[in-house]
Amino acid sequence: MALVVAGGLSVQFGAAVAVLLMPRAGALGVVTLRLVLAALVLLAVCRPRLRGHSRADWATVLAFGAPWAG
């Protein structure tokens, strides 16, 4: 229950800050800032282990990530 409430508060707080930043940064800037902040929070909370994966695992990661990079 606490995670659901925290998620809802996070969405609402992010939207409120985005509205204030929109005139200065524009839509693309606000989206970029929200994604970068979310990535930093996720890295701080649960940083993934990069070692111990096989070549097949990394090939799968690259196959799924390549379309997003282009």
Q: List per-residue pLDDT tens for the chain, 70 residues long.
A: 999 999 899 889 888 888 888 898 898 988 888 889 888 988 898 888 888 999 999 999 999 999 988 6
d(CA 64, CA 58): 10
**The pLDDT value given to residue 70:** 67
Q: Are 31 and 22 in contact (CB under 8 A)?
A: no
**The pLDDT value given to residue 58:** 93
- Say whether pTM exceeds 0.75: no
**The pLDDT value given to residue 57:** 94
Q: Which amino acid does the sequence have at 23?
A: P
